[in-house]
Structure 1
Amino acid sequence: MKTDQDMYIPDNQGEGEEYEGPEMTLTEHLAELRSRLIRAGLGVVVGMAISFLFVQHIVQALLELIKPHTPLATGITEKFTTYMKVAFIGGIAIAMPLIVYQLIAFISPGLTKRERRFVLRALPFVTLLFVTGVIFGYFIVLPTALRFLLGFGSEDIATMPRFADYIGFVSNLLLWVGLSFETPVIVYVLIKANIVSVQKLTKLRKYAFVVILIAAAIITPTPDPMNMMIVATPMYLLYELGILMGRIW
């Protein structure tokens, strides 16, 4: 693996050629990983600060989903820690393009100019797809899951969820649904970075479908197959979209 300096390609070198810099030692690999993690972490901190400005509105939007039930805060610090958790997840969402870029830069630091250009062009879609996933989770996945969970069992049993449990549950679900919607960008970048080919991904369709089903089963909080398929279907379609994007562009 090469450092940022080694990624530089001289002007007299073709765009389709890869610069062959010196290989890094294990210590240099770890130093590079630490550097990438620090940059991603700083991005999350900045995103968290921005998200905290709107955390009251975010929490209120999440509480709308559970009405007429009212969550209870039983601990002195429960509200504060829960709001901070929501802001943290919001920070991850805001910093997602930076996180993805740092991950790609660490895995494939020897990208050519042309390949890096494709990666940079894909980064804005990281945010767009994540937001799309969160919207899908908020309006489709969560209402279905909450109706099942809150309506399960005898009507003589009153459901009074804890505030921290409820917010943690819905925010984590939205985060994972949003991350699952990054599939086409990840597939596209892997293809354009020559890490994997379109033909290989096409042959791996059946295995990808099984992995997607397992991921959907983990993401969805209910045991019924309907909720699992609500998440798995768009995930698989997004996988196919990534292959199609790589094939066309």
Structure 2
Amino acid sequence: MPLDQDFDNAEQDEEDGEVGKEMSFIGHLEELRWHVIRAVGSIFVFAIIAFIYIQEIYQYVIIAPAKTGFWTYRMLCKLSVVVGYDDLCIKALNFQLQAMGLGDNFTMSMTSSIIAGLVFAFPYAFWEVWRFIKPGLKASERRSARGAVFYVTFLFFSGVLFGYYIVTPLAINFLANFTLDPSIINQFSITSYISLVATLTLACGVAFQLPIVVFVLSKVGILTPSFMREYRKHSMIVILILAAVITPSPDIYSQIIVAIPLFILFEISILVSARVEREKLREEQSLTKSSGI
């Protein structure tokens, strides 16, 4: 028997052993505790590394969207030339950042380090959670969920990048240039600014998990591809409203920039749901044939 086939059989036997192994309730809690400890520990490790380089992180990452030289603003200015809409180009951000409290700088450096640790440790933390969940799944469910860590991580970082480079700059531009009277000077606390950046960035990372959510709901029979196709037009309206809420800027171009990735995610979710439905049909057909024999 070839060596690679021996390895595959051994790996399959190991997975079957994990699935077949029974544990008490206390045993499951103990195993879950260690998975959580390792996941939280990885977050703190990355948070410590981020704290060491916190000044560089502030200068090149956190404060960057508050400057007109940011990549997104430069691309919008180029886009404004192409479409002939000059208002799309962001030439000034009329606000100043201030540390209002005595310990704001230190507090925000700690908070930013933890947020950075959460983002960078996400793949490993989710992998630890997946290691706890996976043995409890059936063989067919494990086959269907193959590559779950990769897809969840890819979608999360795609959402984080989308939130950081698209949603956050558009929101900052609108809020910074919105004034009730020209005599009013916008002076925002660093706490408020970081809260906005972190909320929008992480929220987009979570929102981009839509295909994963649809996969789970389709597996349990709550969602079907026919249902999603039937309400596709309704979903477009909801996405446009969501894009308008995410980007307070009144220009239609900014809303379209935000809405396009959400449309793509919805279409991908339909394909995911259709794949789940096909797998269910194949399993039902195989069970019917086996019972007929």
TM-score by length of 1: 0.70
Q: Which residue of 2 aligns with 1:75?
A: 101
Q: Which residue of 1 aligns with 2:210?
A: 183
Does structure 1 residue 66 correspond to structure 2 residue 89? no
How far apart in 1 are the matches of 2:32 and 2:14?
29
CA 49–18 in structure 1, closer or farther in 2 if over 3 Å, else same: closer
| SS of equivalent to 1:234 | helix
Please tell me whether Structure 1 or Structure 2 has the larger radius of gyration of its CA atoms.
Answer: 2
How far off is 1:161 after superposition? Answer: 0.1
Which runs of structure 2 are paired with 1:164-175 in the superposition (5 Å)?
164-175=191-202
1:80 alignment partner, SS class:
helix
2:223 corresponds to: 200
Question: For 1:95, what is the secondary structure of its paired residue?
Answer: helix
Asked if the contact 1:66/1:146 (under 8 Å) is kept, the reply is: yes
8 Å Cα contact 1:177/1:231 also seen in 2: no
- The 1:200–1:90 alpha-carbon spacing in structure 2 relative to 1, beyond 3 Å, is same
CA apart distance, 1:159: 0.5
Q: Is the 8 A contact 1:17 1:112 kept in 2?
A: no
Count of residue pairs brought into register by the alignment: 234
Q: Is the 8 A contact 2:134 2:142 kept in 1?
A: no
Unaligned regions of 5+ residues in structure 1, if any?
1-8
- 2:170, 2:249 within 8 Å by CA — same for their partners in 1? no
Match of 2:149 among 116, 123, 131: 123
Tell me the SS of whatever aligns to 2:113: helix
Matched, 1:138 2:164: yes
User: Is it true that 1:22 corresponds to 2:22 in the alignment?
Assistant: yes
* 8 Å contact kept, 1:73–1:163: yes
Matches within 5 A, 1:1-249: 19-22=19-22, 24-25=24-25, 27-60=26-59, 61-67=61-67, 68=93, 69-111=95-137, 116=142, 119=145, 121-152=147-178, 153-185=180-212, 187=214, 190=216, 195-196=219-220, 200-203=223-226, 205=228, 206=231, 209=235, 216=242, 220=246, 222=248, 231=258, 234-245=261-272
Aligned partner of residue 133 in structure 1, secondary structure: helix
Distance 2:32 2:12 in 1: 30
Give the corresponding residue for 1:5.
none
